Amino acid sequence: MTQPSDKALVPFVSVDNMMRLIHHVGIEEMLRDLADYIEADFKRWELFDKTPRVASHSDVGVIELMPTSDGEAYGFKYVNGHPKNTSEGLQTVTAFGLLADVYTGYPVLLTEMTILTALRTAATSAMVAKYLAPKDADTMAMIGNGAQSEFQTLAMKAIIGLKAVRLYDKDPAATAKCARNLEGLGISVTVCKTPEEAIEGAQILTTCTADKQYATILTDNMVGAGVHINAIGGDCPGKTELAKGILDRSTVFVEYPPQTRIEGEIQQMAEDFPVTELWEVILGRKKGRTDAQQITLFDSVGFAIEDFSALRYIRDRIKDTDYFIDLDMLADPDDPRDLFGMVQRAKP
Ligand code: NAD
> Average per-residue pLDDT in the chain?
96
Q: Provide mean pLDDT across the span 29-39.
A: 98
Q: Provide mean pLDDT across the span 4-16.
A: 88
Q: Provide mean pLDDT across the span 294-304.
A: 98
User: Where in the chain do CATH 3.30.1780.10 domains reside?
Assistant: 6-115+305-345
Q: Strands across the sheet with 204-207, in order? A: 188-191, 164-168, 139-143, 204-207, 228-231, 295-299, 250-254, 276-277
- As assigned by CATH, the class of the 6-115+305-345 domain is alpha beta
Binding site membership of 299 for ligand 1 (Cβ less than 6 Å): no
Can you give the pLDDT at residue 3?
62
Q: Dump pLDDT digits (tens) for 193-234.
A: 999 999 999 999 999 999 889 999 999 999 999 999 999 999
Can you give the pLDDT at residue 9?
96
Q: Dump pLDDT digits (tens) for 279-289.
A: 999 999 999 99
Can you give the pLDDT at residue 4?
63
Ligand 1 atom closest to Cα of residue 124: 40
Secondary structure class of 205 (helix, strand, coil): strand
Residue 1 predicted with pLDDT over 70:
no
Catalytic annotation present for 235:
yes
Binding site membership of 127 for ligand 1 (Cβ less than 6 Å): no
Instruction: Please pick, among 235, 299, 307, 320, the residue that the annotation labels catalytic.
Output: 235
Can you give the pLDDT at residue 127?
98
Q: Domain 124-302 falls in which CATH fold?
A: Rossmann fold (3.40.50)
Q: Dump pLDDT digits (tens) for 164-201.
A: 999 999 999 999 999 999 999 999 999 999 999 999 99
Output the CA torsion sign for 132, 134, 139, 142: negative
Using CA atoms in the order 260, 251, 143, 60, what is the torsion angle rounded to 10 degrees? Answer: -20
Q: Which residue has the higher pLDDT, 5 or 239?
A: 239
- Residues of the chain with pLDDT > 90: what percent? 97
Question: Alpha carbon of 97 to those of 30, 37, 65, 230: distances in Å?
Answer: 18, 17, 9, 25
Radius of gyration of the chain (CA): 21
Can you give the pLDDT at residue 65?
98
User: Where in the chain do CATH 3.40.50.720 domains reside?
Assistant: 124-302
Helix 114-132 with 304-317: angle, nearest 10 deg: 110
Q: Provide mean pLDDT across the span 93-121.
A: 97
3-state SS record for 255-307? CCHHHHHHHCHHHHCCCCCCCEEHHHHHCCCCCCCCCCCCEEEEECCCCHHHH
Hey, which residues does 239 pair with through a beta bridge?
236
Q: 124 with 300: CB under 8 angstroms?
A: yes
